[in-house]
């Protein structure tokens, strides 16, 4: 299938580099790392820092008026109400978040997050003006069974079917093969490219092509580091990377941004 990929429309987009700090840093550590990144990352790339909820307000202060952007790692699907322990997308926007990671495999795996929940969260994020970073990807077993493309199509479709994406809104899909997350061993760029092709095709099937070209980005995540990042960002159909472990060390993450 012939898709209009980077050669025709992606060059205008800046590389997107997203740091997912997961539940790995406390407030003090998060502030320290945010400061180091603020003083070490320059240029025009779209760099998004996603600390844990408890650190968001403090990190927001550090990144205020800075070119580094702030993202959350999840949000709830209702805007507010009696939902003890949940976090409102509107409140995230209020403290300066512009992005939110949704449907990360760790949430799907450990917290029973379903495609339907991801879908509701995507709608909510879009409705309050947050850019959703929707994680999709197959497990090792699904890959062995030959179900990878099916899973990518299912997860992408279910997250987005019926969602309203306005002209001024962005949506990022992160292809994250579950089995390489945190393993230190990324998939080959060719394999990532093939998966991205499937995701792009799914998007073109559901949304007007101009909207897909202008408003959607597909990025890769899973054991990205400063050595391998350029192999992914150099792909025609890859707009950036989502980084876990390697985003926790300032020097390494700064290097990733430089090499992307």
Can you say which residues are annotated as belonging to the binding site for substrate? 20-22, 182, 223
Q: What is the closest distance, in whole angstroms, from the C-beta atom of residue 241 to ligand PGA in the complex?
A: 9
For residue 107, give both structure tokens.
């949430």
Who contacts 169 (Cβ-Cβ below 8 Å, separation ≥6)?
126, 129, 131, 215
Q: What is the closest distance, in whole angstroms, from the C-beta atom of residue 107 to ligand PGA in the complex?
A: 10
Question: Which of 247, 256, 204, 260 is closest to 19 using CA atoms?
Answer: 247
Q: What is the closest distance, in whole angstroms, from the C-beta atom of residue 34 to ligand PGA in the complex?
A: 18
Is residue 173 part of the contact set for ligand PGA (CB under 6 A)? no
Nearer to ligand PGA, 160 or 176 (CB): 176
Q: What is the closest distance, in whole angstroms, from the C-beta atom of residue 232 to ligand PGA in the complex?
A: 11
Q: What is the closest distance, in whole angstroms, from the C-beta atom of residue 224 to ligand PGA in the complex?
A: 5
- Out of 119, 221, 233, 237, point to the residue binding ligand PGA (CB under 6 A): 221
Is residue 240 part of the contact set for ligand PGA (CB under 6 A)? no
Is residue 222 part of the contact set for ligand PGA (CB under 6 A)? yes
Which residues within the stretch 5-34 sit at the binding site for ligand PGA (CB under 6 A)?
Answer: 20
* Separation of alpha carbons 147 and 126, rounded Å: 29
Contact 253, 241 (CB under 8 A): no
- Out of 88, 155, 226, 245, point to the residue binding ligand PGA (CB under 6 A): 245
Nearer to ligand PGA, 153 or 249 (CB): 249
For residue 235, give both structure tokens.
């792909």
Nearer to ligand PGA, 207 or 220 (CB): 220
Is residue 224 part of the contact set for ligand PGA (CB under 6 A)? yes
Contact 69, 47 (CB under 8 A): yes
* Separation of alpha carbons 135 and 74, rounded Å: 11
Nearer to ligand PGA, 15 or 244 (CB): 244
Side-chain half-sphere CA neighbours of 238 within 13 A: 26
Who contacts 174 (Cβ-Cβ below 8 Å, separation ≥6)?
18, 101, 133, 134, 135, 136, 218, 219, 220, 221, 242
Side-chain half-sphere CA neighbours of 73 within 13 A: 20
Is residue 163 part of the contact set for ligand PGA (CB under 6 A)? no
- Out of 134, 181, 199, 229, point to the residue binding ligand PGA (CB under 6 A): 181
Residues lying near ligand PGA in the complex (CB under 6 A) are found at: 20, 176, 181-182, 221-224, 242-246
């Amino acid at each position: 299938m012939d898709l209009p990929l980077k050669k025709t429309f992606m060059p205008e987009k800046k590389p997107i580099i997203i740091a997912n700090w997961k539940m790995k840093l406390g407030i003090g550590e998060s502030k320290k790392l945010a400061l180091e990144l603020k003083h070490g990352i320059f240029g025009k790339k779209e760099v998004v820092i996603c600390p844990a909820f408890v650190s968001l307000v403090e990190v927001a202060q550090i990144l205020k008026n800075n070119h580094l952007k702030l993202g959350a790692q999840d949000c709830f699907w209702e805007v507010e109400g009696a939902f003890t322990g949940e976090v409102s997308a509107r409140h995230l926007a209020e403290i300066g978040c512009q992005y939110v990671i949704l449907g990360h495999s760790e949430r799907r795996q450990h917290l029973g997050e379903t495609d339907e929940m991801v879908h509701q969260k995507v709608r909510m994020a879009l409705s309050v003006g947050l850019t959703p970073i929707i994680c999709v990807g197959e497990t090792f077993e699904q890959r062995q069974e030959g179900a990878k493309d099916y899973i990518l199509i299912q997860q992408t479709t279910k997250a987005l079917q019926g969602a309203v994406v306005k002209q001024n809104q962005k949506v990022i899909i992160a292809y994250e093969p579950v089995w390489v997350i945190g393993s230190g061993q990324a998939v080959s760029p060719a394999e990532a490219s093939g998966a991205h092709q499937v995701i792009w095709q799914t998007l073109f099937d559901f949304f007007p092509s101009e909207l897909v070209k202008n408003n959607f980005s597909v990025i890769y995540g899973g054991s990205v580091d400063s050595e391998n990042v350029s192999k992914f960002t150099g792909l025609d159909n890859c707009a950036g990377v989502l980084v876990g472990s390697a985003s926790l060390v300032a020097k390494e993450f700064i290097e990733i941004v430089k090499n992307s």
